[in-house]
Homo-oligomer: A and B are copies of this chain.
Amino acid sequence: MVQVTVWNEHRSETKHERGRELYPDGIHAELAAVLEAEGHEVRTATLDEPEHGLTDDVLETTDVLLWWGHEAHDEVADDVVEKVKARVLDGMGLLALHSAHYAKIFRELMGTTGSLKWRDTRLTDGERERVWIVEPGHPIADGLDEEYIEIPQAEMYGERFDVPAPDTLITISWFEGGEVFRSGCCYQRGKGRVFYFRPGHETYPVYKQDEVRTVIANAVEWAAPVDGPEPAFADQREPLEAIEEGLPPEHR
């Protein structure tokens, strides 16, 4: 059982009729239901709540945070971003979903811009994405029957994706329009694990697909904190081993 908080900007899916039909209570509600069904303890938080719903209390009791944001990244307060970052470095897992490639928290943890190519879905109403599992032995692929996940309608994201090379690359997406994308990327940052997972546009029923839900549920377990040793970042005045005497102190 993992303590999960699903954070959602909760703007994009309310603006389009299709988004409202698909996710009437918001994408956060959809994802929360998926993870509750897995037996996790799940809360939600959204941009417009005080402190974006990410108070110290919430963060301290969150094992894994899911992040969905799209058009209001700039409205996320910097001090909240810093708190979330500190929690990740201290061991909290983070799932950055879809357009969260451009969220402040993701960019800060990556050290890069998170930029990429995309195709405006108002022109094409999306296109076919085929998410190939390139590491079928990884825990995040557990329970998937097929070697790829086909998403009938998707917003394209294409390379170059400006992120550090992932510690482990789990999926690569093929797009009908001719692009490819590293769509499932694992990172260790501090004591925390980060998983970027591309699928999930607000106007397509991507989060209704079983395989997509399986990947997200697996990633939550994979990203859950570990009770490892607490690093001391401090002056080690007493060496563990005897040090030979060096030059006399008056030289210092």
Residues in B whose Cβ lies below 8 Å from that of A236: 117-119, 156, 158, 177, 179
Q: A189-B112, A236-B119, A246-B153 are in contact. Are A160 and B134 (CB under 8 A)?
A: yes
Residues in B whose Cβ lies below 8 Å from that of A146: 229
Residues in B whose Cβ lies below 8 Å from that of A16: 252
Residues in B whose Cβ lies below 8 Å from that of A168: 165, 167, 188
Copies of this chain present in the complex amount to 4
Cβ contact of A134, chosen from B159, B240, B245, cutoff 8 A: B159
Which of the 9-residue segments A6-14, A24-32, A56-64, A220-228 touches chain B? A220-228
- Those of A140-179 within 8 Å (CB) of chain B: 141-147, 153, 156, 158-162, 164-165, 167-169, 172-179
Please classify how large the interface on chain A is, using the bins under 10, 10 to 19, 20 to 34, 35 or more.
Answer: 35 or more
Q: Is A65 an interface residue, CB under 8 A from the partner?
A: no
A residues whose Cβ falls under 8 Å from a Cβ of B: 16-18, 89, 91, 108-113, 115-128, 130, 132-139, 141-147, 153, 156, 158-162, 164-165, 167-169, 172-180, 182, 187-193, 203, 225-237, 239-241, 243-249, 251-252
